Amino acid sequence: MHTSRLCLAESEQTHLRRCWRSVFDARWSGAESLLARISPPNWALEWSLPGWLGDAMQLSMDKSREVTLGNLFGLAYVRLHDDLNDERFVHEERVEALALATLLYQRWLAVYIRLFGDDAQFWSCFERYLDQWLQASLESSQTLSIPFDRYDETHFLALGHRGALIKVCAAATCRLTGREELLPQLEHCLDQLMIGAVLLDHAADWQEDLEAMRPNVFVASISPLPQTDAYAAANRTAVLRELSIGRGARSYFAVIDSRLSTAQITAEIIGMPALANDCAWLRQHAASYRRGVTTAARRKLSEISAELLGASIKAQP
């Protein structure tokens, strides 16, 4: 059955954009382009999750809007932090991006200070998620040392924790509604969802990551070769071959589906239907992507073979 993706209502998106622009005026030339990059449909989960949780736990509209705004500031900060790590800015742009990231972090904290003051239980969760994200960010730039088929839960959680800050809005909503007993299962659900999403991102970005020499788990699941410039062509060929004439990376995508299935079932058990729907949608999207990328790989490998054959014919006396 086809699943349609839900998203935050347009009226609520408009409200959030007004709040954003009240903070980032014309002096912040990069703020508007950042807002466009992180707006739905690209970040539908990040914009929508606080409202989904708030609806399920009967959080007031005013507080749900506050949590959503905090989520927007925090996750925009994460996006900019990742861009800075990837060195996507020239010097002048980098200076402004650092200042913008600092203000985003301040605004993110300000939202939760308004909501929670010195509530130790909330801030303990906040610090734990921040630590998880920082550790995962450090590990994401390091050479992959463990073969994918030897990954255990620790390795998968390290991947999922790249999205650990999405859990801040879950802790906030549970605390504001007095439903703290739901948080452990909600954390488990979001960890599994993020593992599946990060693995899917690696499958989608493998060619770009190879070119940029960024560690890519999808490539590592297929080729044991180091992900260095010297082996870039061999790794690229190995992935294309697996996708086109191998098993289509079936085992890798099976892990994605398993993680997303776990997240979906957990969301259903704890009474979060909109979150469960998003997990189902992402499972569907992953399956569709695998079919599409397999077809594209077959076409690309055929083109490479034709080019090699043509070159060999021209080289003959």
**Which residues have CB under 8 Å from 19's CB, separation 6+?**
69
Report the pLDDT value the prediction gives residue 312, as an integer from 0 to 100.
46
Give me the DSSP letters along 175-218: HHHT-GGGHHHHHHHHHHHHHHHHHHHHHHSHHHHHHHT---HH
Q: How far is CA 129 from the centre of its chain?
A: 15
pLDDT of residue 88: 67
Q: Over its length of 317 residues, how does the chain's per-residue pLDDT go in tens digits? A: 677 888 999 999 999 999 999 999 878 888 999 999 999 988 899 999 999 999 999 999 999 999 999 999 998 999 998 888 766 666 677 888 889 999 999 999 999 999 999 999 999 999 999 999 999 998 887 778 788 989 999 999 999 999 999 999 999 999 999 999 999 999 999 999 999 999 999 999 999 999 988 899 999 999 999 999 999 999 999 998 888 877 778 999 999 999 999 999 999 999 999 999 999 999 999 999 988 888 877 776 666 655 544 444 445 55
Q: DSSP letter string over 242-262?
A: HHHTS-TTHHHHHHHHHHHHH
pTM of the full predicted structure? 0.91
The residue behind tokens 């590592």 is 220
pLDDT at 304: 60
Tell me the CA distances in angstroms from 287 to 4, 252, 257, 280, 292, one per residue in order. 15, 11, 8, 11, 9
The per-residue b/e assignment along 122-136, b for 16 or more CB within 10 angstroms, e otherwise, is beebbeebeebbeeb
Domain boundaries, the chain: 1-116, 118-317
